[in-house]
A = this chain, B = another copy of it.
Amino acid sequence: MKNQNVPTMKDVARHAGVALGTVSKVINGIPVGEEYRMKVEQAIKELNYEVNTYARGLKMQKSNTVTLIIPDAINPFYAAFAHYIESALYKEGHFMVLCCSNGILEKEIEYLNMAAKNQSDGVIALTYNDIGKYVPENLPLISFDRIYTNRFTPRVASDNFTGGVMATEKLLECGCRQPAFITFNSPYPGEADRRKNGYLHACELHHITPMFLSESGSRDMLSEITGFINAHRHGDGTLDFDGIFVNTDYNAYKTCRLLQDMGYRIPEDIQIIGFDGIHKFGFDENELFVSTIVQPIPALAQTCVNMVLSKDRELLPSLTLLPVSYQYGGTTRE
């Protein structure tokens, strides 16, 4: 049952004519006599030796592995997030175990438990549910956006509030007189809810009467939006609003299509700004679907990784907000 011819530390020791412990020290960078070190390194090279992760893991209780839980890898935002998490982990010498929960609570919990059991060094989670009470003890967890009802999960998110303000003010700046807001929120509380607050705040700031559609994600989006538009439509086809800030690029794109199908021109008649920064075919070189507030995905990922790998978890802030930026994507007047 011995694993083929893979050399072990023992082999290296014998080959180098030193004791087992000495080899271990060399490998772990603990000082040993120069002469010994040379011999050991020589032997390692000759035998093509590599440490066995499992034997080490058994002793060390760590794995150089971080688990990322996202709903899926199909949504371009999640996919890009996973991509940059992987890059950041790679730089730190860690691997990413990617888990797609499809937003199912049971899977999220199961993945969490498996992460603990598999000695994951930590978990970064972007979930649809509040998994706060299912977090195994001693498992470093960082939440992207979602609020978990426990007091020890640091949270990283984009500055959604400022993003909401920016979007609204950008519409104004581009000539809108009356920007509206449309959102279909996840029912789970997260920072994304604050996009609306940003909109409302900007309205107040600029003495504009807010005008919004704010539903939970489960409703039929298209018909809800249609209803909203019709409610604000006059006999001559003109609308009460001339710009819309929509809570996601996806919803914004859908809204665009709807308005265009109704005969409105974008951005001439109505300007639209989304949120997220989704590019066609995923890459920054390509067009955006809509003008939008861009989430800084690489920075978000890097921050999550830094935090999950952090030595003193006591020092981590409970919330870290990263700045967003506006980017033109064809649905605003420039």
Chain A: residues with CB nearer than 8 A to chain B?
Answer: 3-4, 50-55, 57-58, 61, 63, 65, 72-76, 79-80, 82-83, 86-87, 90, 95-100, 113-114, 117-119, 137-138, 249-250, 253, 278, 280-283, 289
Chain B residues near A249: list those with CB within 8 A.
281
Pairwise interchain contact B87-A80, C-beta atoms closer than 8 A:
no
* Copies of this protein, total: 2
Contacts A119-B53, A282-B79 given; indicate if A98 touches B86 (C-beta within 8 A): yes
Pairwise interchain contact A73-B80, C-beta atoms closer than 8 A:
yes
Pairwise interchain contact A100-B86, C-beta atoms closer than 8 A:
yes
Pairwise interchain contact B96-A98, C-beta atoms closer than 8 A:
yes
Partner of A3, one of B55, B61, B113: B61
The residue in A76, A114, A281 that gathers the most chain B C-beta atoms within 10 A of its C-beta is A281
- Further 15 A-B residue pairs, CB within 8 A, beyond A52-B119, A74-B282, A280-B289: A4-B138, A50-B117, A52-B58, A52-B117, A53-B119, A54-B58, A72-B83, A73-B79, A79-B83, A79-B282, A86-B98, A96-B98, A98-B98, A249-B281, A278-B281
Pairwise interchain contact B73-A283, C-beta atoms closer than 8 A:
no
Pairwise interchain contact A283-B86, C-beta atoms closer than 8 A:
no
Partner of A57, one of B57, B95, B253: B57
Pairwise interchain contact A75-B119, C-beta atoms closer than 8 A:
no
Tell me the complex Cα distance, A117–B48, Å: 12
Partner of A82, one of B73, B75, B97, B282: B73
Pairwise interchain contact A281-B76, C-beta atoms closer than 8 A:
yes
Chain B residues near A52: list those with CB within 8 A.
58, 117, 119
Tell me the complex Cα distance, A148–B249, Å: 40
Partner of A73, one of B65, B86, B289: B86
